[in-house]
Every structure is written in C-alpha cells, then in structure tokens.
C-alpha cells in the first residue's frame, strides 16, 4: 500500500460536503496547516470539525469558519476567535463545548474500539443535559460516546513512508490519539524520510493507523498568546 501523496490537495481529495473531521493540534501548535488551506481551496461545506480549539480569525480552523465551511464545531476551548463568537451568537454555527479531558477520552476511545465510557466531568452542569448518568460507588458519572469521524487530519514533526509518526513537544497532545481514531487518517509532516530511518523507540504513532502521508511546506508556527516577563 503506497501511503505517500504529493501534497495536501491530493491527500484530502475525497473529503466531501457534510463529512466529520478530526483536526489535531493544541492552540496553534501542531495544527495541519497545509490540509486546512487545501480544504479552504477545495470549498467543501457543512463540515463538522472536532478539535481542541477553533483557531484564530485568520489562521487554523478560523480560515474554514471565515469561508463558512463549518456547520458544527466540537471543541473544548474557543476563546480566541471573534468570527466563531459571531457565528455562534447569530445562530449560524452549531457548537458542542465539552470538557477537555472528555474530548481527549472520546478520541482515545474511538481509536481503542470502545463505544462509550463514564466520566464525572460535567455532572451537574449543562454538559449533562440529555445524557445518561449512573452511580458508581456513590458517585455520579455521565456516559459519553466515542467520536465517529470520517477523517482524522494530523500534523507531525517527522514521518516515514510507512506512515510512522514522531511528534514534537506540545504537538504530541491531541494528534496521536486522533491519528488512531479516524476511519481514514491523513498526516502531514515537516520531514518525510524513507522507512527504517526513524528510531523505533521514538515513534509515537505506528504506521498501521496512518493511511496517507505527505511532506508539508511553508509552516508558519504562530504563537497564539505571547507572554514575556518584564526586563529587570
């Protein structure tokens, strides 16, 4: 099976209107920049995007929001995007806000073949509305379902032609578990090497989970919030 694609446009060629996408990254770190740009160019609409955050107005998933390609956003943090706020308040965008740990576990459960699980996160809040609850040892837990996505789109530091991936620092947050969870996983990498060149002990996602891989270009690597201490 040849997993190597020439670029993002080829790798996302069969993503269609209405698909459910997982998009890796944490803040603006480790996001699949090339694939997001290709999706904007492709013009697919009515997408459901599962991601820890919604990017900012002019970068990341914010680009898809600006072009009105997202129907529903499933996230745990969305505070940096004014267009997201506008679409939410105007009723243009459906939003499911969930605790960050629950988001992570719904990704992990999908990759592990676990259809549902119980968690105490969200009990007694709006998160619990309409969800089954159960008592375990006198404590209430909510039942949450694993995600069901058509594609998982992730970004790694290095990868090989068999699809094995290495993530760097903060990018190793949601990317590895999302890579396991998609029906089809597309990985863009900063450096693509021949199979056998990566240290087996340093591989974070085995190639068995990755269906398509390509070497990306022109990464911006923005900092979402730059905080510095005053000069002494």
Whether 163 and 188 have beta carbons less than 8 Å apart is answered as no
What predicted TM-score, i.e. pTM, was given to this entire model? 0.92
Within-domain flag for 122? no
Within-domain flag for 222? no
Within-domain flag for 226? no
Within-domain flag for 127? no
Phi-psi region of 166 (alpha: psi -120 to 50; beta: other; left: phi over 0): beta
Enclosing H/E stretch for 11: helix 8-11
Kindly state the average pLDDT of the residues 17-31.
94
Within-domain flag for 50? yes
Residue 91 pLDDT: 92
Is the pLDDT reported for residue 227 higher than 80?
no
Residue 121 pLDDT: 96
Is the pLDDT reported for residue 99 higher than 90?
yes
Range of the domain at 86: 8-117+146-215
Within-domain flag for 125? no
Structural domains of the chain, count: 1
- State both tokens at 85: 């706020």
pLDDT level of residue 223 (50, 70, 90 thresholds): confident
Q: What is the mean pLDDT of the chain?
A: 94
Within-domain flag for 126? no
Is the pLDDT reported for residue 222 higher than 80?
no
Whether 50 and 78 have beta carbons less than 8 Å apart is answered as no
Whether 11 and 188 have beta carbons less than 8 Å apart is answered as yes
Is the pLDDT reported for residue 95 higher than 90?
yes
**Which position has the higher pLDDT, 11 or 82?**
11
Is the pLDDT reported for residue 232 higher than 70?
no
Within-domain flag for 138? no
Residue 32's contacts (CB-CB under 8 Å, 6 or more residues apart) are: 23, 24, 25, 153, 154, 155, 186, 188, 216
Counting every residue written for the chain, the total comes to 232
CATH number at residue 62: 3.40.1080.10
């Amino acid at each position: 099976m040849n997993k190597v694609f020439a670029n993002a446009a080829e790798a996302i060629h069969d993503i269609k209107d209405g698909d459910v996408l997982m998009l890796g990254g944490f803040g603006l770190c480790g996001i699949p920049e090339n694939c997001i740009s290709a999706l904007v160019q492709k013009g697919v609409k009515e997408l459901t995007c599962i991601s820890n955050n919604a990017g900012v107005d002019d970068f990341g998933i914010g680009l898809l929001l600006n072009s009105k390609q997202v129907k529903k956003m499933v996230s745990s943090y969305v505070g940096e995007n004014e267009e997201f706020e506008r679409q939410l308040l105007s009723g243009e965008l459906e939003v499911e806000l969930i605790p960050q740990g629950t988001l992570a576990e719904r990704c992990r459960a999908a990759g592990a073949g676990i259809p549902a699980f119980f968690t105490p996160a969200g009990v007694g809040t709006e998160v619990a509305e309409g969800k089954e609850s159960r008592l375990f040892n006198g404590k209430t837990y909510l039942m949450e379902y694993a995600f069901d996505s058509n594609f998982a789109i992730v970004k790694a530091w290095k990868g090989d032609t068999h699809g094995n991936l290495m993530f760097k620092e903060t990018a190793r947050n949601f990317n590895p578990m999302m890579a396991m969870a998609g029906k089809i996983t597309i990985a863009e990498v900063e450096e693509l090497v021949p199979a056998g060149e990566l240290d087996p002990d340093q591989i974070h996602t085995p190639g068995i989970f990755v269906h398509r891989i390509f070497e990306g270009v022109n990464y911006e690597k923005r900092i979402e919030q730059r905080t510095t201490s005053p000069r002494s």
